[in-house]
Amino acid sequence: MSTSPMSLPLPGLLSLVMPAHNEAPNMPELMAMVARVLPQLAERFEVVLVDDGSLDGTAEAAHESLPEAYRHCLRVITHAQKSGYGISVGDGLRAAKGDWIAFSDSDLQFDFSDFLGLATHLNEADLVTGYRQKRADHWKRSVTSGVYNILVTLIYRIRFRDIDCAMKIMSRSYLDAISPIVSRSATINVEMYLKAKQQGLRVKQFPVGHYHRTAGERSGGKIKPIIRAMKELSALQAKINAARAAANTPR
């Protein structure tokens, strides 16, 4: 694999997957950032917005906020009820049509300009991820994330920092290699790293910025999703094994 920097814009189609729950107030700034950054990032792009049971018109706000020249690039996947982060990201990744796939959050805590730096390393790695240099979260959420990352290291010997950082960009071949995705919670991030390790795929990490949420509804850090993620973390390998066995069973 070449170690020379990947030239931008990326050739072909890029899919940007974004889960969103009640993020209508953030859509004007978010879609302005999409229109500013994605034409620099790839020759062509689509935005796969997974509207996770929003009650505030998130999808409509996204469509209205995206400049008219790019509105045809927006695809919306709608959940009738809130399904959670892992399911939303998974549905978005499965729906993505791109030669390159990125995903991030819709809460404006990341600057998509950082994708421009991450993408230049796609000649060196199948998955390129960010890690937050300085988290702009409440201390309780940062502590919870820190403990979770320690557990991931202890259980699966995955030695990367800030595994749940929502700034990731990957090749289509990587996404195909780790499919089917079995996680239904925040362990979807662990699954990405674990399958890369098991299949000898290359992962690179680089620092990205992180910013305070100023609008919308914070969903991370609540006790129920944390407990669900902890339970699923211990069962993740068994689920991966079961999916692999099912895929190899003659029909």
pLDDT at 221: 54
Give dist(CA 136, CA 3) in Å, integer: 33
Contact between residue 97 and residue 70 where contact means Cβ atoms under 8 Å apart: no
Give dist(CA 91, CA 104) in Å, integer: 14
pLDDT at 222: 61
Contact between residue 64 and residue 75 where contact means Cβ atoms under 8 Å apart: no
Give me the architecture of the 10-248 domain, per CATH.
Alpha-Beta Complex (3.90)
- Is pTM beyond 0.85 here? yes
Owner of token pair 């996204």: 62
C-alpha dihedral over 166, 167, 170, 176, to 10 degrees?
10
pLDDT at 1: 47
pLDDT at 199: 95
Give dist(CA 149, CA 160) in Å, integer: 8
Show pLDDT as tens, one digit a residue, over the chain (251 residues): 446 889 999 999 999 999 999 999 999 999 999 999 999 999 999 999 999 999 999 999 999 999 999 999 999 999 999 999 999 999 999 999 999 999 999 999 999 999 999 999 999 999 999 999 888 766 666 677 777 778 888 888 898 989 999 999 999 999 999 999 999 888 999 999 999 999 999 999 999 999 988 886 665 556 666 676 678 888 899 999 999 888 887 76
**Domain boundary assignment for the chain:** 10-248
Contact between residue 169 and residue 118 where contact means Cβ atoms under 8 Å apart: yes
Contact between residue 219 and residue 23 where contact means Cβ atoms under 8 Å apart: no
Q: What is the DSSP letter of 72?
A: G
